[in-house]
A and B are shown apart, each in its own frame.
Chain A
Amino acid sequence: MIDKSLNWLDDRLGFAKGGRTFLDKIFPDHWSFMLGEIALYSFVILLGTGVFLSLYFVPSGHEIVYHGSYVPLRGQHVSEAYASTVGLSFDVRSGLLMRQAHHWAADIFLGAIAVHMARVFFTGAFRKPREFNWIVGTLMLILGIVNGFLGYSLPDDLVSGTGIRIAFSIIESIPVVGSYLGFFLFGGNYPGSGIIIPRFFTIHVLIVPAIIVGLLAAHLGLLVKQKHTQFPGKGKTEHNVVGSPMFPTFIAKTTGFLFVSAAVTFLLGGFAQINPIWQFGQYEPYQISYAVQPDWYMGWLDGALRIMPSWEWVGWGHTLPLEVFLPAVIFPGLIFNILIVWPFIESIYTKDHEYHNLLDRPRDRPKRTAAGASMLTLLFAVFFASSTDVMANFFQVPLIDVLWFFRFFVPLAPIAAYFLTLKICQEMRAAEGIGKRKHALVVERSTTGEYTTTASPVRPGDEHEELEAIPVPTFIDTTDPELATAAGVRRVIR
C-alpha cells in the first residue's frame, strides 16, 4: 500500500533517488549539535505564535480611549498599538500565553544562536568548506537582534518607547547622513508623524522574517550538502560521517526535541511573566521609569553606551557625538565584522587551506580558544555594565564607583581572559592523558604476602566494545538469508 503510493508519487515527482540519499543521511551524535536545533525550533515557535499575535495586534500610533477589561487603564488615552497589546493579553483567550511565549521564544532563539555559535567557533567547525555557513549564521544573529528590538518596540509602552527614542538618537549620531537616516526612517523628527509603529510592524513581521527564512534555508541546505562535522573517534575520519541515520532515528529524536522546546517555551510563557506592559503604561516622550533594561541581547550595547566617557567632538561647524557613535555604531559594527571575517583571518594566519570535517578540541587550538574566551569576556563585561545603577543600589556603593570600575574592567578583563585561557589550554595540552579516565590499579597480594600493583587495561565495569560502523542498511526482521537478499520481499520495520 505504502509502496504503491510512493511509486505513484515518484512517477510524478521523481524523488526516489535523491530521497534515498536524504533518508540515509548520517547525523553524528553529540549533545552540542542540538544547540542549533534549539534556535531552529524557537524560530518555528516564533513564526507560529507571531501569526497568532498579528491577528489581534493593531499597528497604529493613533490615539484612542481604552475600554477593555483591564480596569486601571479604563478611560485613559492610549495608542491603538498599546490598547490592542493589552487587549490581546487580557481579552483574547490564550492571548497572554501566546504573547509571553513569543517573547520568551525570541530570547531563547538568540540565546541558542549565541551558544551554537560559540560551539561552532571553539570546535573550529567554521573552517573550509563551511565559511559561508558561518557568515549566513552570523547574518541571522544580526537580523535576530534587530527583529527582537523591533518586536518589543511594537506595543508602544513606556519602556520600549524609550528604546525607540534611544535608537533614533543613535542613528542621529552617524556622521554626515545621521539626521537624514533618522528622518527617513521615522518620517520626520522624533517621535515622527505616528508612522513609526506601522513601519516597524512591516519590517518586523514581513521583511526581516522573510530574509531570515531565506538565510535559514541556505543554512540548512549547506548543512545537507556539506554534511555535518564530527568529533574525532573510532572509525571517524575526514572522509566519512559516523552516526545515526536521518530516517528513522534522527527524525524521531529531533521531532521530539521540537516538542520539548515548545513545551519549555509555553511553560515559561505561562508561568514566567515577561514584559508586563500594562504595568509600564503607555509611552509618553516626557515620561521615564527607573532601572529600565532592554532585552538581554541588547544589554551589551546599552552597557557600552553607559561606560563611554563623554567624548563629543566639535569643530568646523559640525558635531560628532563620539560618546554615542563609538559604542553604539562602531563597536557592534566591529564585533560583527570580526565575526564575519574570522574564518578567513584564521586560515591566512595558520596557512591552512585544507578541508576540515573533524572538529577540534578547544584546548588543542589554544590561540583560537583564547581569542574566543576574550571576545566572550568582553561581551559579558559590557553586558553587566548595563546594570550599573542596579548594582550600585544592590551593593550600596556609589554609582560613580561602579561606573569607574567598569571603565577599567571592560577593556582589561578580555586581555586577562586571553592569557589565562591560553595558559590553561597549553597546560592541558602538555599534560599526559588529561581528560581521559585514569586506569584503575589492581593490587594483588601473593601467597607470600607480597603486594604487587598492575594497571588494569580498562577500569572494571567500563568494558564495552564499540562496533565498526557500517553503511545504513534496511532493517529486516528475518534471519533467513535467502529471504533477506531476495529482491522484493524485504520488509522495512517501521
Chain B
Amino acid sequence: MSDKTTPLEGTLPPATLDDPHLLPSAKNPKRMEALAALAMVIGMAGFVAFIYVYWVNASNKWEALTLGIGMLGLGVGVIAWGKYLMPQGPFVEERHEFHSTDDERESFNAAITGRGGIEVKRRKMLLGVFALGGGVMTLALLIPGVRSLGPKPAKSEGTQGSTEDSLFTTNWKKGAKLVTVGGRPVKVDDLDVGGVLTVFPQGHEGSSPDQVILIRLAQLGPNDPPYPIAAPGRTEWGVQGYVAYSKLCTHLGCPVGLYQERTQQLVCPCHQSIFNVNAGAIPQFGPAPRPLPMLPITVDATGQMRANGGFDQAVGPGFWERP
C-alpha cells in the first residue's frame, strides 16, 4: 500500500460543527430529524406487524407487506439521516502515486530474477523435473476427477450400448409393441384422423430417447393402398394411414409436441422449427437441420401396433460423432 505517506498520521484536523462543510444539507434539520425518526418508527411497527402476521399464519402477501414496510421505513430513515443531516463536505482525499517507486520495483524484481533466478539457472534440470512431475500429477488427478463423472459415449452406430451410454441407440426393435406412457398397448383403431399420441416401446415408457409421436393422417383400412409419404421408399413405413416419427427435435431435443392438423405440420414449441409430416417430416422452416427420424410401423393380426424395425439413424440433435 502506498497510503503510508498520507497526512493522516498527524492528529485529526478539527472542524467545528458550524463549519459550512459540516452543516446538514436539510433546510430544516429539526424537521428532517423528526421525519427520519418517523420513518424508522414506521419501520419498527412493520417488523412488529411481521411477527404478528407470522404468528397468526397469515398469507405470504401480508408477510411481504409488513417486512417490506419494516425494511423500507428503517432504510429510508437512515438514508435521510445520512443524506440530509450528516456532514456532506465536500471533503477531499488525495490519491497517491499508485505504483511503487523505482527502487521498490527494482528490489522486488531482484528478489525474483536475482535470488530465485540464479538458483533456477544453476539447477535447470531440477526445475524441469519438478515441472514435469507437477504436470503428471495434474493429469493423474484429472483422470478420476473427470473420468468418474460418467460413461464414455459410444463411438459409432455399430457399437452396442444402452440408451444410457450411446447417442445412437434407442430401444425400438422390430416387433416392439407401441404403448402409451401409462403402458397401455396401442391398437390400430385408437386414433381418428388428425389424432396424435406419444408412444414408447413396451418396457421403456417415459424414456427420453425412445419417445415417438404417432399420427393418423388418413382413415385407411388394411386393404386400401398405403398412404403415400413424399420421401422415397418410405411408403411401407406407415400403416393404415398412420406414421410415426421420433418426437425429439433435431434442433435441440425438445419434444416436438404441437401438431397442426390442417397443414399436417409438427411444430417445436421451443424454437419454432416446423416439420412437414406428409413429406417424411422434413424441416420446412426454423433452425432444425434434419427431418425427424421416421419409425417404420406395422399392425399385427390382433390389431396391435408394432415397430417394423428400429430407427435408421441417431435421434435428436446433431453431435460430432454422428456420420
Interface residues of A (CB under 8 A from B): 17, 20-21, 24-26, 29, 93-94, 96-97, 100-101, 129, 162, 165-166, 168-170, 172-180, 182-193, 225-227, 235, 238-245, 248-253, 255-260, 262-264, 266-267, 269-271, 284-292, 302, 305-312, 314, 317-321, 323-324, 355, 357, 388-389, 399-400, 403, 466-479, 484-485, 487, 490, 493
The CA-CA distance from A467 to B21 in the complex, in Å, is 7
The CA-CA distance from A253 to B79 in the complex, in Å, is 4
Interface residues contributed by chain B, number (CB under 8 Å): 99
Quick one: which of A170, A187, A266 contacts B149, CB cutoff 8 A?
A: A187
The CA-CA distance from A202 to B152 in the complex, in Å, is 23
User: Is B72's CB under 8 angstroms from A263's CB?
Assistant: yes
Asked if B133 lies at the interface with its beta carbon under 8 angstroms from chain A, I say: no
Listed stretches B111-119, B224-232, B315-323; interface member: B315-323
Asked if B129 lies at the interface with its beta carbon under 8 angstroms from chain A, I say: no
The minimal Cβ–Cβ distance linking A97 to chain B, given in whole angstroms, is: 4
User: Is B211's CB under 8 angstroms from A318's CB?
Assistant: no
For B147, the chain A residues whose CB sits under 8 A away are 184
The CA-CA distance from A260 to B247 in the complex, in Å, is 49
For A182, the chain B residues whose CB sits under 8 A away are 153
User: Is B318's CB under 8 angstroms from A324's CB?
Assistant: yes
Asked if B183 lies at the interface with its beta carbon under 8 angstroms from chain A, I say: no
User: Is B78's CB under 8 angstroms from A166's CB?
Assistant: no
The CA-CA distance from A291 to B269 in the complex, in Å, is 7
The answer to whether A473 and B150 touch (CB under 8 A), given A183-B165, A249-B86, is no
User: Is B285's CB under 8 angstroms from A178's CB?
Assistant: no
- Give chain B interface residues in 188-219, CB to chain A under 8 Å: 198, 206-209, 211
For B15, the chain A residues whose CB sits under 8 A away are 470, 473-476
Q: Main secondary structure on chain B at its contact with chain A?
A: loop
The answer to whether A474 and B12 touch (CB under 8 A), given A184-B150, A193-B164, is yes
User: Is B14's CB under 8 angstroms from A485's CB?
Assistant: yes
The CA-CA distance from A251 to B258 in the complex, in Å, is 56
User: Is A250's CB under 8 angstroms from B22's CB?
Assistant: no
For B22, the chain A residues whose CB sits under 8 A away are 473, 475
The minimal Cβ–Cβ distance linking B53 to chain A, given in whole angstroms, is: 10
- Would you list 9 pairs from A and B whose C-beta atoms are within 8 A, ordered by A residue? A97-B64, A179-B167, A188-B150, A189-B166, A225-B1, A244-B87, A248-B86, A257-B75, A477-B17
User: Is B12's CB under 8 angstroms from A473's CB?
Assistant: yes
For A317, the chain B residues whose CB sits under 8 A away are 323
For A183, the chain B residues whose CB sits under 8 A away are 149-153, 165
User: Is A308's CB under 8 angstroms from B287's CB?
Assistant: yes
The answer to whether A178 and B319 touch (CB under 8 A), given A183-B153, A286-B206, A476-B14, is yes
Top 6 closest pairs, chain A to chain B, by CB:
A270-B64, A259-B75, A252-B82, A256-B79, A312-B289, A321-B318
Asked if B141 lies at the interface with its beta carbon under 8 angstroms from chain A, I say: no
Asked if B126 lies at the interface with its beta carbon under 8 angstroms from chain A, I say: no
Mask: chain B, 95-113; 1 = CB below 8 Å from A; 0 = not: 1001000000000000000
User: Is A471's CB under 8 angstroms from B93's CB?
Assistant: yes
User: Is B94's CB under 8 angstroms from A256's CB?
Assistant: no
The answer to whether A179 and B320 touch (CB under 8 A), given A185-B150, A189-B163, A262-B71, is yes
The answer to whether A400 and B82 touch (CB under 8 A), given A169-B252, A321-B317, A470-B91, is no
User: Is B82's CB under 8 angstroms from A286's CB?
Assistant: no
The CA-CA distance from A257 to B75 in the complex, in Å, is 6
- Pick the most buried of B69, B163, B164: most chain A CB atoms within 10 A of its CB: B164
- Give chain B interface residues in 9-63, CB to chain A under 8 Å: 9, 11-22, 54, 57, 60-61, 63
Could you count the A-B residue pairs with CB atoms below 8 Å apart for me: how many are there?
A: 340
User: Is B270's CB under 8 angstroms from A244's CB?
Assistant: no
- Pick the most buried of B1, B8, B54, B90: most chain A CB atoms within 10 A of its CB: B90
In addition to A319-B321, A475-B22, 12 A-B residue pairs with Cβ atoms within 8 Å of each other are A184-B149, A189-B167, A244-B90, A252-B81, A253-B82, A271-B64, A286-B247, A318-B320, A324-B287, A389-B269, A469-B91, A473-B13
User: Is B317's CB under 8 angstroms from A258's CB?
Assistant: no
Interface residues of B (CB under 8 A from A): 1, 3, 6-9, 11-22, 54, 57, 60-61, 63-65, 67-72, 74-83, 86-95, 98, 146-147, 149-153, 163-167, 181, 198, 206-209, 211, 247, 251-255, 257-258, 269-273, 283, 285-290, 316-323
User: Is B181's CB under 8 angstroms from A286's CB?
Assistant: yes
User: Is B254's CB under 8 angstroms from A166's CB?
Assistant: yes
The CA-CA distance from A233 to B64 in the complex, in Å, is 42
Chain B residue nearest to A249 (CB atoms) is: B86
User: Is B91's CB under 8 angstroms from A472's CB?
Assistant: yes
The answer to whether A479 and B16 touch (CB under 8 A), given A172-B319, A176-B320, is yes
Quick one: which of B87, B167, B285 contacts A249, CB cutoff 8 A?
A: B87
For A174, the chain B residues whose CB sits under 8 A away are 320
The answer to whether A244 and B91 touch (CB under 8 A), given A168-B253, A311-B289, A475-B17, is yes
User: Is B68's CB under 8 angstroms from A471's CB?
Assistant: no
User: Is B319's CB under 8 angstroms from A240's CB?
Assistant: no
Chain B residue nearest to A245 (CB atoms) is: B91
User: Is A471's CB under 8 angstroms from B65's CB?
Assistant: no
User: Is B269's CB under 8 angstroms from A184's CB?
Assistant: no
For A250, the chain B residues whose CB sits under 8 A away are 82
The answer to whether A323 and B95 touch (CB under 8 A), given A179-B320, A289-B269, A399-B272, is no
The answer to whether A259 and B8 touch (CB under 8 A), given A179-B321, A249-B82, A319-B318, is no
Quick one: which of A227, A243, A266, A290 contacts B91, CB cutoff 8 A?
A: A243
Quick one: which of A244, A264, A355 contacts B88, CB cutoff 8 A?
A: A244
User: Is B60's CB under 8 angstroms from A97's CB?
Assistant: yes
User: Is B68's CB under 8 angstroms from A263's CB?
Assistant: yes
For B67, the chain A residues whose CB sits under 8 A away are 97, 263, 266, 270
Chain A residue nearest to B62 (CB atoms) is: A270
The CA-CA distance from A442 to B6 in the complex, in Å, is 49
User: Is A259's CB under 8 angstroms from B74's CB?
Assistant: yes
The answer to whether A93 and B153 touch (CB under 8 A), given A318-B323, A478-B16, is no
User: Is B290's CB under 8 angstroms from A467's CB?
Assistant: no
User: Is B247's CB under 8 angstroms from A241's CB?
Assistant: no
User: Is A96's CB under 8 angstroms from B60's CB?
Assistant: yes
